[in-house]
């Protein structure tokens, strides 16, 4: 399956808009046809393993319901929206949309959420902590944009939904199929369906700083010898009173810790963290397929060195040949790869990934 591409100047976007300000891209995918129907989305929302929810509004009250759902849950007369997370992990047709944004680091990509809304419905005025590309799939949707939020922004918690009140509109757009609205983190937005509407949300999440600090600290603790102690240096050259700790003492300890982190020789902690799988993949039985694709739930991260490539997948590190670069790029791009002309060492890695369920057989055949 050929992945579509957004029709935009990627370098200009990265320079002027990424994590800075919203951007409306008219006909980012000309003649775009929604790859799934509302009925198919509803069927997915009835699966126990799917992450789905319904947001509805009745008499100015917002309500949140968590799936899985039954057919009866969709027989309603209020204004409601169905949202299903990680649809790209269920349907190859939706996973192909990842290729629209392959000018961004693939290890930052989170998922494709698909939403369906009846006329006039939405999920209310809110902001996210991640970047999102809102691709209009079917019908039309009106989006209102507000000024960036911060810690002082007034929020109301209504039945599990954190909404902005009041919401001051700074810009308004009506999207048709194929249009895309990019919204940076903390920029409030409010979408309302015009007739029946489907939207594909391509989300990019950044790792939490607390997680980065924790993993970096773990790596530093593992590498520092237990025999190393804090040295006083100049912090004790001035006499103090009994039991007193001075600012110089605290700065000395802080500097020692920072220096230990700065001299950390193991730089695998970041790709190791980002490539970890949030849940156990399903192992593959039998012989590896002749064509493979990266499992949609996986993040493959690689870095080229002078004489080899280090790849991280499933939280583990693998050393690979420089000639494997094109293979890794193809896998990270979601493309199907053949295994016929690869070296034995590369095949050994792929067989291990296959057994662990990190790669799989494509459902719809080769894409290039």
Residue of 230, 228, 225, 224 lying closest to 249 (CA atoms): 230
Query: Phi and psi of 199, rounded to 5°?
Result: -130, 140
Query: What is the percentage of the chain residues whose pLDDT exceeds 70?
Result: 98
CA distance 206 to 1: 28
> Is pLDDT above 90 for 226?
no
Q: What is the mean pLDDT of residues 87-112?
A: 93
Residue ranges, CATH 3.40.366.30, the chain: 270-360
pLDDT at 365 > cutoff 50: no
Q: What is the CATH number of domain 270-360?
A: 3.40.366.30
Please enumerate in sequence order all residues whose Cβ is within 8 A of that of 260, keeping only pairs 6 or more positions apart, or say none: 220, 224
Nearest C-alpha neighbor of 273 from the set 322, 308, 227, 317: 317
Whether domain 10-204 has CATH 2.60.120.650: the reply is: yes
For residue 11, give Cα distances in angstroms to 15, 86, 104: 6, 28, 10
Cα–Cα distance between 89 and 50 in angstroms, integer? 10
Helix (H), strand (E) at residue 18: none
Question: Rounded to whole angstroms, how far apart are CA atoms 139 and 28?
Answer: 16
Residue ranges of the chain assigned to CATH 2.60.120.650 = 10-204
Residue 23 DSSP SS3? strand
Q: Tell me: the pLDDT tens digits for 22-71?
A: 999 999 999 999 999 999 999 999 999 999 999 999 888 999 999 999 99
pLDDT at 234: 85
Give the pLDDT score at 1: 52
Tell me the H-state helices in the chain.
10-16, 38-45, 92-95, 209-223, 247-262, 269-274, 325-332, 344-356
Main-chain phi, psi angles of 314, to 5 degrees: 60, 25
Computed over every residue of the chain, the mean pLDDT equals: 92
What pLDDT digit, counting tens, does each position of 168-195 carry?
999 999 999 999 999 999 999 999 999 9
The per-residue pLDDT for range 303-321, each reduced to its tens digit, is 999 999 999 999 999 999 9
> pLDDT tier at 367 (50, 70, 90 boundaries)?
very low
């Amino acid at each position: 399956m050929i992945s579509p591409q957004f029709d935009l100047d990627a370098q200009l976007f990265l320079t002027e808009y990424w994590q800075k300000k919203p951007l409306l891209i008219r006909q980012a995918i000309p003649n775009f046809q929604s790859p799934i129907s509302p009925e198919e989305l509803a069927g997915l929302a009835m699966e126990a393993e799917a992450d789905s929810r319904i947001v509805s509004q009745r008499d100015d009250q917002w309500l949140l319901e968590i799936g899985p759902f039954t057919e009866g849950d969709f027989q309603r007369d209020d204004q409601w929206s169905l949202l299903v997370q990680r649809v790209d992990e269920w349907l190859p047709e939706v996973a192909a949309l990842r290729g629209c944004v392959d000018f961004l680091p693939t290890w930052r990509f989170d998922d494709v959420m698909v939403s369906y809304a009846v006329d006039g419905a939405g999920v209310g005025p809110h902001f996210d902590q991640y970047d999102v590309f809102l691709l209009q799939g079917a019908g039309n949707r009106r989006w209102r944009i507000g000024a960036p939020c911060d810690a002082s922004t007034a929020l109301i918690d209504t039945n599990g939904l954190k909404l902005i009140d009041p919401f001051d509109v700074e810009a308004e757009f009506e999207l048709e199929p194929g249009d895309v609205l990019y919204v940076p983190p903390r920029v409030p937005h409010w979408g309302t369906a015009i007739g029946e509407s489907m939207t594909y949300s391509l989300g990019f999440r950044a790792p939490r700083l607390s997680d980065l600090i924790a993993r970096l600290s773990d790596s530093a603790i593992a590498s520092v010898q237990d025999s190393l102690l804090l040295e006083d240096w100049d912090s004790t050259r001035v006499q103090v009173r009994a039991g007193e700790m001075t600012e110089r003492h605290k700065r000395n300890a802080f500097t020692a810790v920072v220096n230990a982190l700065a001299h950390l020789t193991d730089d695998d902690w970041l790709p190791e963290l980002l490539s970890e799988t949030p849940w156990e993949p399903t192992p593959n039985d039998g012989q590896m397929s002749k064509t493979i694709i990266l499992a949609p739930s996986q993040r493959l991260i690689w870095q080229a060195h002078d004489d080899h490539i280090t790849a991280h997948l499933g939280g583990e590190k693998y050393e690979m040949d420089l000639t494997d670069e094109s293979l890794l790029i193809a896998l990270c791009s979601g493309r199907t790869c053949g295994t016929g002309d690869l070296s034995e060492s590369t095949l050994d890695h792929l067989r291990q990934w296959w057994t662990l369920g990190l790669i799989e057989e494509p459902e719809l055949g080769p894409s290039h």
